[in-house]
Structure formats: C-alpha cells, structure tokens
Amino acid sequence: MTGMIQLSALSKSFGPIEVLRSVDLTVRRGRVMAIVGPNGAGKTTLIKSILGLTHPDSGRITVDGVGIGRDDAYRAHIGYMPQISRFPDNLTARDLIAMLKDLRNVKASVDEDLIDRLGIRDQLGKPLRVLSGGTKQKVNAALAFLFSPELLILDEPTAGLDPLSSSILKDKILALRSAGKTFVVTSHVMSELETLADDVAFILQGRALFVGALDELKRVTRQLTLERAVAALMSPAFSEAAA
C-alpha cells in the first residue's frame, strides 16, 4: 500500500516552543489514520502543516507523491474540516457552497449526501449567524465532503455534534474509506477513534512516539482498547523505553 501523505523529519517551532520535533509519518492510501495525543502535543500543527496553513521550519511533506511547496493545486484533492466552525455572519450555507465551488472551479454537482442525511437542507438559505453551534458544525462537515476529495482531514469532527449526527458522520467516513478514500482524523474521544481508525499516530511533546496499525499498538502496549493503549504510551515507563 502506498503512502498518501509522507512526512519526513518535520520540525516546527513557535518562538522558543518546539511544537513538532523531527516527525516521520506515513498515512497510507485508503486508510483512516488517527492522530492522538494530549492537548498541545502538536496534532493541529501537524494537520495544518499538511494543508500548508503552517510552514514547517525543516523537513519535507509529500501528498500523493508530490512535495508541497509554493504550488497550491494539491489542495484540490483535500477536504478539510476545521475544529472550529465560524463562518461569515451574513452569508448563508448556500453562499458558502457556491463560493467553494467557484474557488475550486467546480461546475458539476457535488456530493450533498451529508446535507440530506444530517437534515440541514432547510437551513441552507438562512444567514449562518442564526444557526446553532451544532448546525454550523454539520455545515462544516458537509463542506469537507462536498468535492469527493481523495484525502479528508478532519480535526475533531464530532465535537459539538449530537449522537445521531455523529454516527451519521462516522458511517460516511467508513463508507468512503471502503471506497478507497484516505482520512486523517483527530479526536479526544478514543472510543470513537477506535471504531474508525486503521492506523494510529501518537504524538507527545512534538514527537511521534508511535506510528502504525491500531492492532499493532494494542499488541505493543498489551492493552485491549485504544484508550488504554494511549494511556500506556503516556506512562513514564513507556516513554523512557521509547527514548
């Protein structure tokens, strides 16, 4: 299986704080990679580096075999769902869809499956400022899937979603994974990642302490669940062994 995303020796500091320290990581095509780690571990910086939102100090990132640099074309194959869904107050979700279609030069119809399944079609014409936080998060999710991208990067996708919407979103992820799409997902809910992830990257203080299959992680840590496995990785004994 080939690497959809390849990070080699990726480092990034914000002032004196080293957020990523020589991270090597491969996201395999057609799989769901969960990025886990405590708050401030560097997960969001990692994701933003792949998207080109943050410029790494050193190291190399390739997406689909092409090194990302000044060229922005690779992002045409990426759908991104940011953690915080804040949109312009006076636009409607329909405006946003039209805007993204315009910016991506997409004239054809797009994947509006999530709009119907999350039940937000009748909200599309309302100004985004009047929508509830949960509805905005549904819009956020629907936008990421709109262009049937090869790679989806979802930062805390189910935060703020009700259980039904959250399970609809997870079903969608699994269905597209079966269709060969690649996912990078972060979440604080380990049980949720457990049902989604094929692979896990565990980041602690900017280092990738474990990158591999979920089953492999459980085997190495001798734990039955992802949550327990991650807790075991964070224990001082394991960190010392890894160092």
Partner 1 sequence: MSTVLKVLKYQARDAIRSRWLIAYGIFFALVAEGLLRLGGDPVKAQLSLINVVLLVVPLVAVVFGTVYLYNAREFVELLLAQPLKRRQLYGGLYLGLAIPLAVVFTVGLGIPFAARGLDPSSWSALAALLGTGVVLTFVFAGIATLIAVRCEDRLRGLGAAIGAWLLLTVIYDGFVLFVLAAFSSYPLERATLALMMANPIDIARLALLLRFDGAALMGYTGAVFLKFFDGSAGVAVTLAALTVWVTLPIALGVRAFERKDF
From 15, 16, 55, 241, residue interacting with partner 1 (rule: CB under 8 A): 55
DSSP secondary-structure letter at 112? Answer: -
One of 91, 124, 159, 231 touching partner 1 (CB under 8 A): 91
Name the token pair of 98: 């039209």
In the chain, the amino acid numbered 118 is: L
# chain residues binding partner 1, by CB under 8 A: 34
108 touching partner 1, by CB under 8 A: no
Cβ neighbours for 175, distance < 8 A, ≥ 6 positions apart: none
Does the protein bind partner 1 through residue 51 (CB under 8 A)?
yes
11 is a contact residue toward partner 1 (CB under 8 A): no
Looking at 74, 145, 183, 210, which residue binds partner 1 (CB under 8 A)? 74
Q: Does 14 bind partner 1 (CB under 8 A)?
A: yes
List Cβ neighbours of 233 (8 Å cut-off, separation of 6 or more).
Answer: 202, 204, 209, 210, 217, 221, 239
Nearer residue to partner 1 within complex by CB, 50 or 217: 50
Should residue 46 be labelled a site residue for partner 1 when binding is judged by CB under 8 A?
A: no
- What is the largest distance, in Å, between two alpha-carbon atoms of the chain? 56
* Residue 78 binding partner 1, by CB under 8 A: yes
Interface with partner 1 by CB under 8 A: which range of 84-92, 114-122, 204-212, 216-224?
A: 84-92
Query: For the residues of 133-195, what is the DSSP string, one character each?
Result: HHHHHHHHHHHHHTT--SEEEEESTTTT--HHHHHHHHHHHHHHHHTT-EEEEE-S-HHHHHH
Both tokens assigned to 141? 């999710």
In degrees, rounded to 5, the angle at the alpha carbon of residue 195 between the alpha carbons of residues 192 and 200 is 85
104: contact with partner 1 by CB under 8 A: yes
Is 18 a binding residue for partner 1 by CB under 8 A? The answer is: no
Q: Which residues bind partner 1 (CB under 8 A)?
A: 12, 14, 48, 51-55, 72-76, 78, 80, 82, 84-91, 95, 98-100, 102-104, 127, 143, 153
